[in-house]
Amino acid sequence: MNSYETVFILTPVLSEEQAKEAVQKFESEVGSLGGKVKHSESWGLRKLAYPIQKKSTGFYFLTEFEAPGSAINELEVIFKRDERVMRFLTVRMDKDHLAYADKRRAKMGAKKTVEAEA
């Protein structure tokens, strides 16, 4: 199984609950395609670099997962068919990318604990 990272942008007209529901749907699809979600994070509502479908903001989400290569095509078809998804990008992670992602997650975890203590 290969490691992958997907960043996708959901339309801003969704509520926070609807956005979380969409993320859970995609994570369950990864599981049903024989994969396993390793990490998922929400980057929140952000301004887009350029308008997409006449919208200037969107909910950003990052998901890291392991899956067989054949599952990626099926997952991307699911993204294309879902009208809540404005854009998505899936990238295969090599060993350097995995090391960087682990380091970034550790740094973010340390940052969150410092904020919680303050």
Residue range 27-47, pLDDT digits in tens: 999 999 999 999 898 999 999
CA–CA–CA angle 5, 53, 49 (5° rounding):
60
Contacts of 67 (CB under 8 A, 6+ apart): 1, 2, 4, 30, 33, 34, 35, 36, 75
Would you kindly state where each structural domain of the chain is located, as residue ranges? 2-117
State the Cα–Cα distance between residues 97 and 2, nearest whole angstrom: 12
- For the chain, the average pLDDT equals 89
Average pLDDT over residues 63-89: 92
For residue 65, what pLDDT band results from cuts at 50, 70 and 90? very high
pLDDT at 91: 94
- Give how far Cα 78 sits from Cα of 48, 54, 61, 94, 106, Å: 23, 22, 16, 24, 31
Q: Is the pLDDT of residue 112 over 70?
A: no
Q: Is the pLDDT of residue 116 over 60?
A: no
Sheet holding 85-92, edge to edge: 36-52, 55-67, 2-10, 85-92
CA 83 to chain centre: 16
Q: Is the pLDDT of residue 84 over 60?
A: yes
CATH of domain 2-117: 3.30.70.60
State the Cα–Cα distance between residues 23 and 20, nearest whole angstrom: 5
Q: Is the pLDDT of residue 108 over 90?
A: no
